[in-house]
Chains A and B, each alone.
Chain A
């Protein structure tokens, strides 16, 4: 056990060393936009002898650098790096876990409400009580072996803070048991003033977001950072707003700080020379307390934690709140951007609801607050729904505007303009640790590998491999696939990581999935493999997916094979035996929300749904399968489909994808392109102008050809679909305003509200997208006019503005377009564009036609009736007539 554990710890620790490098590669734009903050501070540790003389034990100058401190948003990861700190000992694998507090000399990072300034009232200053920790053990200490543990020897503490029991819950709940010899409680004060006393296992109350009260589903951001032997270290720190953690409650109006505490150890005053005489320990106890406080460290710097070994209490991270450590803090104020939720408070106007695409989440997250705080703009809200249902609702007239990335199959049957508002894409997010346990950042993927993951063609584990003959020849997971190894040499082979056999995708419908599956469909190697041809290494497609028709809006789960009967009957996994279901579908386990995939990719959470913790065979209510949850640092491997905009927003890592034609036998020779501005711009250059449907589409055949060698194949345009007839005047004006903004100010890159976040390619002339921006501006006019006119892609085809502005009587909103006397439809959906448009005085409209259908079977009843009558008559004649003739 210990060997495996130790190697896990070593790898986990190594992750941190690589993090600074990784983060700087991943968020070039974000870090460039928000300047880094650097601070320096000299920290000391002293000891006081029995005679009151003090000796300085240690003195260091710590430099702290924080990558971004302004315009922060929820769950954004900032990079914190430091130098000059005391090297850490007793290293743990996961620096965000509570066990990290048992390290000696960790570099503790906390998010605390308040600022570190004497110019604000005390209630708004940071103190340990306003700092967040996820578990009770990080803010409660007790000792039953001695009445004078290290924190009572703290020279910097006041006399009250050095008494036997500090901040004890009053009255002490029965649940908390009998008091120990010494206890130190560090209550948590919430943003609304509620105090959570904590105590053993939270016996006196804990914040609702705490780990064992259900939790918020997000791993802790409290970091017990590891300082190397050279005094340097770095870590990524996930900042939270009130939306993630209401108790902490940080927002644009509630200031918060990042507090870094370089733990130096307690300033020892075991003899109590700074205490009033009455409170001093006696000579014997004082000598013991002094020895305890000055005890040697258990671990050498850089040494890994040993299971069951307790650290030196005086230098452990668990005492981060002790005044000796707290006084050494370096705090950096965090500035949060105004969140979209502010709109509900500041704006009384009814916002325009725009339904649809999750690809727009980050852009509208920055646009919405601008719209509701700027008096010149009317607010809108982005209601995230499936693209397909947004289009259906728009078609039906239920909603006024939608974000989506395609025209509906067969086109809209009412005049709807599809105005480009963003160019973004999908990305394959991942967290993969390399052979050294460091985070891998060079992942390359190609369509055939994605097809292999999506089609449930990797068995995932030995159980399936041994029992499913059709898949038994395939590698257990992607890490053992020679094709993957050719693209990503040197990654460790995993034999029992089911998550490496799945690509976490959406179970709901999305244009994002349509784009991904179009990409698979157009690649000759992937298509041939899907149609049943083995890859050069002999791997074949899961027979249930053979010949699958692509593209699709949502990925189907087709494999319905259960685990072998012996496994079910053997109750090896009671939850599974209780209710067996298709096993490979549990490994794939797609989720309904993009946000879940993003969360899983940020925190390396495996969505494989085959765990059965504490299942009691006799109690079916406990037999519920659970997902595997967070993976151990150093051994992580998760893959998921995410919007490109989420990559920089949450500091995810995204794979480079094969662009242009690939080689089936030598996949590594293909060109691989990242989803950065260059890749997106090259992808956008290949957009196909679909004049018939008046929209732009992604040209997948061109992407798969040599022309697409530099283009990011995940590029997707997002349109605002708005009807140009039938909208209420108010909604039409708001929608037109949104389109105008999206074509101009909304395309300025930046992380402040009202700007375009990274992950979107600005639709500007500089990026050769002037035609798209121009179309959106013309669309805004058509939307404002509401005369059923849909602009042509080519501005030269649009009628003169004067003509459009003067509609004939009766053609206002709500009128049946065809009822205008003499109006001849100029462009019936599906008819070639460029039909005559010069119809004097009449706006050119897309004529709406009732959908027709015909079924010759409808004639069935009369035909059958008639035919039956004739045949029956003929039969009767034949049966009875001949006898009479013969006689």
Chain B
């Protein structure tokens, strides 16, 4: 009988390869891209929320303040009747029930900054109610979209304007777009009001403010004497934008603030409990983001 050697258990002592399978690195990149996409999505949502909701808050707030200012000045009779008028100063009160315009305060100037507060009076034209052509510009979508409802106006509808020279009633005569025949200059002693906003020709309408639309209205009754007219400003015409170093500098500062608050939020998250970090960082980041949005909109075309 032969002796068979029993197999013995061998204990292997080399290190075992603990690395994850190669598929794991691909997932890491995937995760990064996914996160980037999600951030873009969140920013997009923010932009939409800002354009459609938050900017309207802002405009309402400005209108509230301007209304008080204009009311006081109308009572005192100190509302300007001609140039020079400071940009952003209230000049008139506008009503057009059919277009959903109810006691909107018109400010002087039509730069993107001034139109953030409400409809603006185009520099280089007479004030509403005065003899000649007066032009008002207003946003269609953002900042409450004060002129978004211009498309609902029909020929004959009334537009009422209150200035320090009195209350003036206009009757809508028609709408036109770029390239359409312009109406002749009003006759002596008469006045015309043109409301301008931007709407696109397709179904998206007010959601896509790409081209200016003019709604003309003729003064019913006698026009007031024209006051001095300020010089026309080239980059305040419909859909013009103006990039000033002042706004850019403010934007740079606001962006720095945003980056700073984000860094602070990241730091807080690594040190504090998630709840505490969220609670303290979220409002600050949102405020900085809001400021950045406000300033960015000053660089975009004035009717957008």
Contacts and interface: CB of A to CB of B under 8 A. Distances in A.
Interface in B175-196: 176-189
Given A414-B184, A850-B182, A879 B34 contact: yes
Contacts of B179: 849-850, 852
A98 to B, nearest CB: 41
Contact of A869 (B36, B44, B125): B44
Contact of B181 (A819, A864, A886): A819
Given A723-B185, A813-B187, A865-B48, A392 B211 contact: no
A819 B182 CA distance: 10
Contacts of B41: 868-869, 871-873, 875-876
A864 B48 CA distance: 8
B48 A814 contact: no
A859 B205 CA distance: 10
A885 B128 CA distance: 67
A853 B200 CA distance: 11
B37 A872 contact: yes
B75 to A, nearest CB: 28
Contact of B237 (A853, A878, A882): A853
Tier of interface size on chain B: 35 or more
A431 to B, nearest CB: 33
Given A731-B188, A859-B210, A849 B40 contact: no
Interface stretch (A329-337, A393-401, A830-838): A393-401
Interface string B276-304: 00000000000000000000000011011
A818 interface: yes
A848 B182 contact: yes
Nearest to B186: A397
Interface in A777-825: 788, 813-819
A875 B38 contact: yes
- The SS class assigned to the A binding surface is helix
A339 B42 CA distance: 75
Nearest to B122: A396
A875 B214 CA distance: 42
Contacts of A886: 23, 27
A874 B214 CA distance: 41
A861 B300 CA distance: 13
Interface in A376-418: 386, 388-389, 392-393, 396-398, 400, 413-414
B179 to A, nearest CB: 5
Contacts of B187: 726, 728, 813-814
B48 A875 contact: no
Nearest to B240: A853
B198 interface: yes
A509 B231 contact: yes
Given A389-B229, A856-B210, A875 B40 contact: yes
Tier of interface size on chain A: 35 or more
A853 B239 CA distance: 7
B229 A853 contact: no
Nearest to B178: A852
A862 interface: yes
A873 B207 CA distance: 22
A868 B181 contact: no
A862 to B, nearest CB: 6
Contact of A859 (B36, B42, B185, B200): B200
A177 interface: no
B289 to A, nearest CB: 15
A818 B181 contact: yes
Contacts of B48: 861, 864-865, 868
Contacts of A865: 44, 48
Given A726-B184, A875-B36, A392 B210 contact: no
Interface string B203-233: 0100111111010000000000010010110
A312 interface: no
B212 A852 contact: yes
Contact of A392 (B44, B229, B241): B229
Nearest to B126: A398
Interface in B12-40: 23, 27, 30-31, 33-38, 40
B301 A859 contact: no
A864 B47 CA distance: 8
Nearest to B32: A878
Contact of A816 (B31, B43, B184): B184
A26 to B, nearest CB: 36
A850 B178 contact: yes
B132 interface: yes
B45 interface: yes
Contacts of A393: 132, 229
B51 interface: yes
B238 interface: yes
B115 interface: no
Contacts of A723: 185
B131 interface: yes
B153 interface: no
B104 interface: no
Contact of B34 (A386, A847, A857, A878): A878
A648 interface: no
Contacts of A876: 34, 37-38, 41
B35 A396 contact: no
Interface string A572-603: 00000000000000000000000000000000
A850 B214 contact: yes
A407 B231 CA distance: 16
A538 interface: no
A396 B125 contact: yes
B184 A872 contact: no
Contacts of B125: 396
Contacts of A848: 181-184
A861 B34 contact: no
Contact of B207 (A727, A862, A875): A862
B184 A860 contact: no
Interface in A711-734: 723, 725-728, 731
B181 A816 contact: yes
B208 A859 contact: yes
Contacts of A392: 124, 229, 231-232
15 contacts: A392-B124, A396-B185, A397-B185, A414-B184, A726-B186, A728-B188, A814-B186, A848-B182, A850-B178, A850-B182, A853-B238, A854-B178, A878-B33, A879-B34, A879-B38
Given A878-B33, A879-B38, 12 more contacts: A398-B126, A413-B182, A819-B181, A848-B181, A854-B211, A858-B198, A864-B44, A868-B40, A872-B37, A872-B42, A879-B31, A879-B35
| For the complex of A and B, 7 pairs with smallest distance between CB atoms | A852-B178, A868-B44, A872-B41, A875-B37, A818-B181, A858-B210, A397-B185
Interface of B: 23, 27, 30-31, 33-38, 40-45, 47-48, 51-52, 124-126, 130-133, 141, 176-189, 198, 200, 204, 207-212, 214, 226, 229, 231-232, 237-241, 300-301, 303-304
